[in-house]
Amino acid sequence: MTITLREVTEDNFEALMDMELPAHQRDLLHSNAYSIAQAGFYDVFVPRAIYQDERPVGFALYNREDDGRPGCYGIYRFMVDYPLQSQGIGRRAMELLIAEIKAQPDVQLINICYHPRNERASAFYNSFGFVEIGIDCNHEMVAEIRLR
C-alpha cells in the first residue's frame, strides 16, 4: 500500500467531495466540498488529495499564512474516508503533509485545531509532536509544532 499526496484536480475532486464522515464525526469537520471551494477562493490554501495507490481515499487542506502571519502554517482539514479509517492511511498521510509543510523555506510554526473533546484527535496529533496550547475563540483546541 502506497500513500501519496496529490493535487486536487478535475479528475479527482468529485470523488473527494463525495467522501462522507460518519454521523458521530460530522460535527467535527467541514465537508470536503466546502474546503475545496475555500481553496478556489483563497490562494493561501493548499488542498491535497490523499491517495492509496491510485485511488483517492482522503483529503487535507493547509494554509500558507495562518491568520496572515507569514511562516505560520495551519492544517485546516484532514480526513480519511470513513470505511478506510484505522488502517494506517491517516498516519502516513499526516507524515507526508507535515513533511511537505516543513519543506517550505519560511516555515516557523505548524498548527492544527480540533474539538477539545476529541480525545482520538488529540492523541493522534500529539504523536506527531503537536503540543496543545489552549482553546481558541472558536472553542477549538489549538496544538502546534514550533520549528524556529
Would you say the C-alpha torsion 39, 44, 50, 54 has a positive or negative sign? positive
The continuous run of DSSP H or E covering 110 comes out as strand 109-114
Looking at the structure of the chain, the number of domains it has is 1
Q: What is the DSSP letter of 143?
A: E
Show the domain range for 108. 3-146
Residue 94: give its domain's CATH number: 3.40.630.30
pTM (two decimals): 0.89
How large is the average pLDDT for residues 133-145? 87
Quick one: which of 111, 18, 23, 30 has its CA closest to 64?
Answer: 111
Per-residue pLDDT tens over the stretch 47-88: 999 999 999 999 999 998 766 778 899 998 998 988 778 889
CA 128 – CA 35 distance, rounded (Å): 23
Per-residue pLDDT tens over the stretch 28-49: 666 788 889 889 999 899 999 9
Per-residue pLDDT tens over the stretch 89-110: 999 999 999 999 999 999 999 9
Counting beta carbons within 10 angstroms of the beta carbon of residue 93, is it exposed (0 to 12), middle (13 to 18) or buried (19 or more)?
buried
Interaxial angle between packed helices 119-126 and 89-102, expressed in degrees from 0 to 180 and rounded to the nearest 10: 50
